[in-house]
Amino acid sequence: MSKPTLVSFQDTVRQNLFRHKSILDTMSKLDESSARLNRAITKAVTACGCLKINASQKQRFPEDLPYDLIKEQLTTHLEGELCPDCREHVEEEAGRVAFYLTALCDTLGMSLEEIIASESGKLIALGKFSLR
């Protein structure tokens, strides 16, 4: 079986979106999914402990530091890695976010693939000046 593309994923979402067809439902489900994803990551820290967050120091780098070295100075503040159970839960919630984001784009008549291609083009063109 071949890997699904963004186009085929968007087609599948379109075919399977019934209960939350209204733009209002889709928007609220996207927000809910995002919150559930955040909660799953939080539970990996607070309930499981497979992840730890160490943000005791703010992100710092000298202003004259070359761009190539900036990334080496920054940190995710994460320690550890998701255990298999937490990874499964986070992936499930991330999948729901992807589903509802795709549904929202589809409802608005937008192609997720084109949106990602456009964003990728901006990142490539702007390079370090995008600084996200």
- The per-residue pLDDT for range 50-81, each reduced to its tens digit, is 999 998 888 877 777 777 777 777 888 999 99
Is 46 domain-assigned?
yes
Q: Could you give the number of structural domains in the chain? A: 1
CATH number at residue 68: 1.10.287.1080
Mean of pLDDT values over 30-51: 98
Instruction: Report yes or no on 1 lying in a domain.
Output: no
Scan for tokens 């839960």, then name that residue: 89
- Range of the structural domain that residue 90 is part of: 6-129
Predicted TM-score (pTM) of the model is 0.84
41 pLDDT exceeds 70? yes
Q: Is 83 exposed, middle or buried (0-12, 13-18, 19+ CB in 10 A)?
A: middle
Rounded CA separation 132/125 (Å): 14
